[in-house]
Amino acid sequence: MATKTYRDAVDQLNTLQSNAATLEAVRASGGRSSAFAIPEMLEYLGRIGYSPQQLNALNVIHITGTKGKGSTSAFTDSILRCAKPGWKIGLYTSPHLVAVRERIRINGAPLSEAEFTQYFFEVWDRLVANNTRQVPTTPEMPGYFRFMTLMAFHVFMEHKVDATVLEVGVGGTYDSTNIVPTPVVTGITALGIDHVNVLGRTLTEIAWQKGGIFKKGVPAFTVKQPEEGRIMLESRAKELKAKSMTIVSATPELSALKLGLAGIHQVENASLAVALAKSFLEAQTGDCFDDQSLPESFKAGLVQTKWPGRCQTVPDPKRSQVTWYLDGAHTVESLQCCMQWFVNPGVGLAPDPETTPKSPRFLIFNCTSGRSGESFLSSMKETSETQLASFRRDSEDIATFFDHVIFCANVTYADGHFKGDLTSKAISDSELAELKTQQALASAWSKLIPSFPSGHIHVLPSIENAVKVVEEAQTKFGMPVKILVTGSLHLVGGVVEVAGLSEVAL
């Protein structure tokens, strides 16, 4: 039998993807699409040889929320690695930017292609060999995210990790990660109202979902929330008999640190990560911490945190006059944070407009089909105007802030193909053929900024096409250019791949 390769593993994994219609149904339900979600996941876990109780040995920090859960997970992971350099720390997150291997990390490093292939087929072969099903609705093979979660558990068990930072995929209560009986600590990041507007659910319903990760006797932490969300989280904590529920305030010493992740919104995520790490270490080692101070190891962890594709500045290693600004923001609130970061002196704005000429700016944008593109763009416009006014950039006008805007599909290459790890069945055939979302975005942009020249609005079928437009325009400008890429982590990952930024961005 021929040796199985990483490419074989990725191809097999992609057969488990949900199509666009199924994925939208799951989003709309907040992860509640099946009443059997947890029983089915437990059945898969048993089929690969584990009991739920065995997962307690992974020493889990379980994190959910509407926004910031990935960043909080990254901060927490980095803090633990600096605080306990002799430990082995597992980190499971989603989605990935360029390679699916990024989702499962040991001590900050993604699995190698060889490791991924090995563990992938160990789990795959066990599922194939153990096909007896007790729950009638259970499909023979799990979906993409469920499989990756099972694989992460398997990897971390095999590596005998000392701690596992486990990020929820969707929701909380019915999420595939929510089968660990007793995590060490749980955390909930900000509950954004954007999900209320887009998915038509109340904040109370969202909080109920997220609060489903609370467990009996386990301390829970969250950040300051809107009142209805806070009330529901407190109710869920009581219902599920959490040991405590603490609302975290900003850690005073954070203001003096340059966090590894840019953006003022990261202070809240870092504060939650600090609380989670302190609670975890107190439970696991008996260490005691002062609530008002940060150990040096924590400071180092916060400063050294890396989380690609989130408010990230990447000088192009091949194109000397091109700088990429990457942020996978995909909600109204996260896009507001993105523009608060980008429209700043030293980032998207020149440090001193009197001594530094304005660099041409590009926007490359896409958003998930079904989301309100016009509201996203409107929010970005309003935030940019506020930022420009706050910095008194009278010479800057929102109508001319971007020189070109590009709305492209998340397809990787111009020939219509995806990079294997970036293959997405979430885009319907009609979307790809007609570029409906991109056309709607272009129309919305023209409506929001009527004076913007139509010839500088580009609707393109692939990320490769978008990068080519940037290259051609930059040559004509003959000076440094700045490109903001946002609206979709999948888009950001595609740009990293096509533009050849992996070595410096990841």
**If you search the block for the tokens 């440090």, which residue do you land on?**
351
Residue 369 pLDDT exceeds 60: no
> What one-character DSSP code corresponds to residue 306?
-
Q: 346 and 258 in contact (C-beta within 8 Å)?
A: no
- Say what the pLDDT of residue 26 is: 55
Lowest mean pLDDT: which of 87-101, 298-312, 359-373?
359-373
Report the alpha-carbon distance of residue 362 to residue 325 in Å, rounded.
10
Please state the rounded mean pLDDT for residues 190-200: 62
CB-based burial label for 29 (10 Å; 0-12, 13-18, 19+): middle
* pLDDT band at residue 32 under the 50/70/90 scheme: very low
Residue 1 pLDDT exceeds 80: no
Report the alpha-carbon distance of residue 338 to residue 323 in Å, rounded.
16
Share above pLDDT 90 across residues of the chain, in percent, rounded to a whole number: 62
State the angle between helix axes of 227-239 and 203-210 in degrees (0 to 180), rounded to the nearest 10.
30
CB-based burial label for 165 (10 Å; 0-12, 13-18, 19+): buried
Share above pLDDT 70 across residues of the chain, in percent, rounded to a whole number: 91
Report the alpha-carbon distance of residue 34 to residue 40 in Å, rounded.
9
Report the alpha-carbon distance of residue 223 to residue 428 in Å, rounded.
37
How far out from the chain centre does Cα 211 lie? 19
| Largest Cα–Cα separation, the chain | 72
Report the alpha-carbon distance of residue 321 to residue 277 in Å, rounded.
41
- Say what the pLDDT of residue 350 is: 84
Q: 224 and 250 in contact (C-beta within 8 Å)?
A: no
Q: What amino acid occupies position 284?
A: Q
**For strand 219-222 and strand 60-64, is the pairing parallel, antiparallel, or unpaired?**
unpaired
- Long-range contact pairs involving 355-360 (C-beta distance under 8 Å, separation at least 24): 357/479, 358/395, 358/396, 359/479, 359/480, 359/481, 359/482, 360/403, 360/404, 360/473, 360/474, 360/477, 360/479, 360/481, 360/482
Q: 300 and 84 in contact (C-beta within 8 Å)?
A: no
Please state the rounded mean pLDDT for residues 38-64: 96
Residue 380 pLDDT exceeds 50: yes
The two structure tokens encoding residue 443: 């129309």
Most confident of 370-374, 401-405, 433-437: 401-405
- Say what the pLDDT of residue 31 is: 46
- Say what the pLDDT of residue 486 is: 95
Report the alpha-carbon distance of residue 58 to residue 210 in Å, rounded.
21
- Say what the pLDDT of residue 293 is: 84
The two structure tokens encoding residue 188: 């909930």
Residue 18 pLDDT exceeds 80: no
Q: Which residue has the higher pLDDT, 395 or 222?
A: 222
State the CB neighbour count (10 A cutoff) for residue 17: 15
Integer distance in angstroms from the first to the last C-alpha of the chain? 35
Please state the rounded mean pLDDT for residues 399-423: 83
Residue 3 pLDDT exceeds 70: yes
Report the alpha-carbon distance of residue 444 to residue 457 in Å, rounded.
11
- Say what the pLDDT of residue 9 is: 95
Please state the rounded mean pLDDT for residues 163-191: 96
Residue 388 pLDDT exceeds 90: no
Alpha helices (runs of H) in 367-488, residue ranges in sequence order: 373-390, 398-401, 429-434, 436-448, 463-477
pLDDT single digits (tens) 306-328: 999 999 999 999 888 899 999 98
Please state the rounded mean pLDDT for residues 195-214: 79
3-state SS string for 41-79: HHHHHHHCCCCHHHHHHHCEEEEECCECHHHHHHHHHHH
Most confident of 316-320, 397-401, 430-434: 316-320
Residue 500 pLDDT exceeds 60: yes
**For strand 322-327 and strand 312-315, is the pairing parallel, antiparallel, or unpaired?**
antiparallel
Report the alpha-carbon distance of residue 412 to residue 446 in Å, rounded.
26
* pLDDT band at residue 458 under the 50/70/90 scheme: very high
**If you search the block for the tokens 């096909």, which residue do you land on?**
131
pLDDT single digits (tens) 269-292: 999 999 999 999 999 998 888 877
Residue 174 pLDDT exceeds 90: yes
Residue 79 pLDDT exceeds 60: yes
Please state the rounded mean pLDDT for residues 158-173: 96
- Say what the pLDDT of residue 272 is: 97
Please state the rounded mean pLDDT for residues 406-420: 83
Output the average pLDDT for the chain: 89
Please state the rounded mean pLDDT for residues 38-49: 95
Q: Which residue has the higher pLDDT, 331 or 361?
A: 361
Please state the rounded mean pLDDT for residues 30-38: 66
Q: What amino acid occupies position 333?
A: E
- Say what the pLDDT of residue 368 is: 74
**For strand 89-92 and strand 104-106, is the pairing parallel, antiparallel, or unpaired?**
antiparallel
Please state the rounded mean pLDDT for residues 372-400: 84
H or E segment at 493? helix 489-498
Whole-model pTM: value is 0.89
Q: Which residue has the higher pLDDT, 72 or 348?
A: 72
Report the alpha-carbon distance of residue 128 to residue 140 in Å, rounded.
8
Three-class DSSP category at 98: coil
Please state the rounded mean pLDDT for residues 17-38: 62
Lowest mean pLDDT: which of 49-53, 256-260, 433-437?
433-437
Please state the rounded mean pLDDT for residues 468-490: 90
- Say what the pLDDT of residue 34 is: 64
